[in-house]
């Protein structure tokens, strides 16, 4: 008799689900993926955690009459988020922001959830307010504060609260903490301004020099500009993503698999210019699995530190570095091919994101030879 699979689709073409009884508790939820192997791996993770009784420690805390600590909830949320398939970078930034905010009251391991209130928000924001009255510094501070609390509050997103409740965890009323205004939003909204030709040209010219020097920074440039990959995608991009068709054309598939889940949780296929493919294939000559050399930390530093310093050295003064090149290509796609195509190529879950942030170019600076686009 054929063994019943632990995952299934509730409707044809939809995401996979798990429905399984473990230790008297029903695991019944979406696995947030259309890939069967990824779904099975996430399902096995959920079952392992249920069998290991991950929530016993926190339940015993509540039995003693107290609320869980912020660190206990952070650890549990991380496990749930991984099973849910959230991107590693999303999990990391959310946890980092949550712990920063919790430290307003002391050590994260000692701060109880009921201490997170409106006063927490006020204290944290005041503590990080810049001393100088420079308007640009104040706008940056406001954006940072809003971003920090948006990420920190992900710990108590609706799906997470449902998961906590399903496992018998009774949390304090966190409405004040979740809804308190962080900063006055006046002046925070960012109007995207097209880079000038004088800003972009040194970057393109510098990329040609990087190619001649066979610098790994040239690989970063190819991944973040002509292919418009996010930093996390560029860090995890592997040689097997690059494919050549029978007619000689090249594509790059950003997949959802056990090793990496892109933001948005969907596969996407990017056309690759022959000159870009040739440049990326240099990685194959080194015998690397990933396009960028080194381990995960080395690859991340190459993008976020070394590539940023290289752009600054060429006179780039904008706050964002690699992501600004992704935006440049995204706006080019939007202008030349329309919103729907740009959404697919950029990997946006919602077309509203594409239209809001990538519709600002009426014309774009011309790329220098070789033709990267």
Q: What is the pLDDT of residue 1?
A: 41
CA dist 103 and 127 (Å) reads 12
Dihedral sign for Cα 247, 248, 251, 257, please.
positive
Q: Which two tokens stand for residue 120?
A: 């927490």
User: Do 254 and 267 meet the contact criterion of CB atoms below 8 Å apart?
Assistant: yes
Across the beta sheet with 268-272, what order do the strands follow?
A: 242-244, 250-254, 268-272
Q: Which two tokens stand for residue 9?
A: 């689709």
Task: Write out the chain's pLDDT in tens, 373 residues.
Answer: 445 677 888 777 788 888 887 766 677 788 888 888 888 888 888 877 776 655 555 555 554 457 888 998 998 899 888 888 788 888 999 999 999 999 999 998 899 999 999 999 999 999 988 876 677 788 888 889 999 999 999 999 999 998 888 777 778 899 999 999 888 755 444 556 678 888 999 999 999 999 999 899 999 999 999 999 999 999 999 999 999 999 999 999 999 887 888 887 788 999 999 999 999 987 766 777 899 999 989 999 999 999 999 999 999 988 889 999 999 899 889 888 998 999 999 999 888 888 877 776 545 545 444 555 5
Q: Which two tokens stand for residue 84?
A: 């849910």
Cα–Cα separations (whole angstroms), residue 351 to 230, 255, 341, 360: 17, 20, 10, 15
User: Do 171 and 163 meet the contact criterion of CB atoms below 8 Å apart?
Assistant: no
Q: How many CA atoms lie within 13 A of 259 on its CB side?
A: 12
Q: What is the pLDDT of residue 142?
A: 87
The pair phi, psi for residue 9, each rounded to 5°, is -105, 130
User: Do 373 and 332 meet the contact criterion of CB atoms below 8 Å apart?
Assistant: yes
CATH architecture of 197-357: Orthogonal Bundle (1.10)
Q: The pTM is what?
A: 0.60
CA dist 57 and 76 (Å) reads 11
What does DSSP assign to residue 74? Answer: H
CA dist 252 and 216 (Å) reads 19
Q: What is the pLDDT of residue 3?
A: 52
Q: Which two tokens stand for residue 1?
A: 């008799």
- DSSP states along 103-125: GGGS-TTT-BGGG-SHHHHHHHH
Please report where in the chains the tokens 């905010």 appear, as a residue: 101
CA dist 334 and 328 (Å) reads 10
């Amino acid at each position: 008799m054929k063994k019943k699979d632990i995952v299934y689709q509730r409707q044809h073409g939809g995401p996979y689900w798990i429905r399984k009884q473990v230790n008297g508790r029903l695991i019944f939820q979406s696995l947030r993926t259309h890939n069967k192997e990824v779904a099975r791996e996430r399902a096995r993770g959920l079952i392992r955690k249920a069998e290991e009784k991950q929530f016993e420690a926190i339940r015993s805390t509540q039995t003693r009459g107290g609320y869980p600590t912020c660190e206990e909830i952070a650890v549990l949320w991380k496990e749930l988020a991984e099973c849910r398939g959230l991107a590693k970078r999303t999990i990391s930034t959310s946890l980092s922001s949550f712990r920063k905010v919790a430290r307003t009251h002391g050590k994260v391991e000692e701060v109880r959830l009921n201490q997170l209130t409106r006063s927490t928000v006020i204290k944290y924001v005041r503590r990080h307010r810049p001393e100088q009255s420079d308007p640009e510094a104040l706008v940056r501070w406001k954006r940072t504060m809003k971003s920090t609390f948006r990420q920190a509050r992900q710990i108590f997103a609706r799906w997470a609260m449902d998961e906590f409740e399903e496992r018998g965890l009774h949390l304090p009323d966190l409405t004040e903490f979740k809804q308190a205004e962080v900063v006055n939003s006046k002046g925070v909204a960012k109007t995207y301004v097209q880079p000038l030709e004088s800003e972009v040209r040194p970057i393109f010219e510098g990329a040609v020099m990087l190619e001649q020097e066979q610098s790994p920074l040239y690989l970063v440039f190819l991944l973040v500009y002509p292919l418009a990959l996010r930093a996390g995608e560029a860090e995890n991009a592997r040689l097997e993503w690059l494919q050549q068709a029978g007619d000689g054309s090249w594509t790059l598939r950003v997949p959802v698999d056990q090793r990496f889940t892109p933001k948005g949780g969907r596969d996407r296929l990017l056309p690759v210019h022959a000159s870009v493919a040739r440049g990326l294939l240099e990685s194959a000559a080194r015998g690397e699995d990933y396009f960028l050399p080194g381990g995960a930390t080395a690859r991340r530093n190459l993008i976020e530190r070394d590539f940023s310093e290289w752009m600054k050295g060429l006179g780039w003064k904008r706050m964002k570095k690699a992501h600004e090149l992704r935006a440049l290509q995204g706006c080019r796609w939007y202008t030349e091919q329309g919103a729907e195509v740009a959404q697919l190529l950029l990997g946006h879950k919602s077309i509203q994101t594409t239209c809001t942030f990538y519709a600002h170019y009426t014309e774009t600076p011309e790329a220098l030879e070789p033709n990267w686009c």
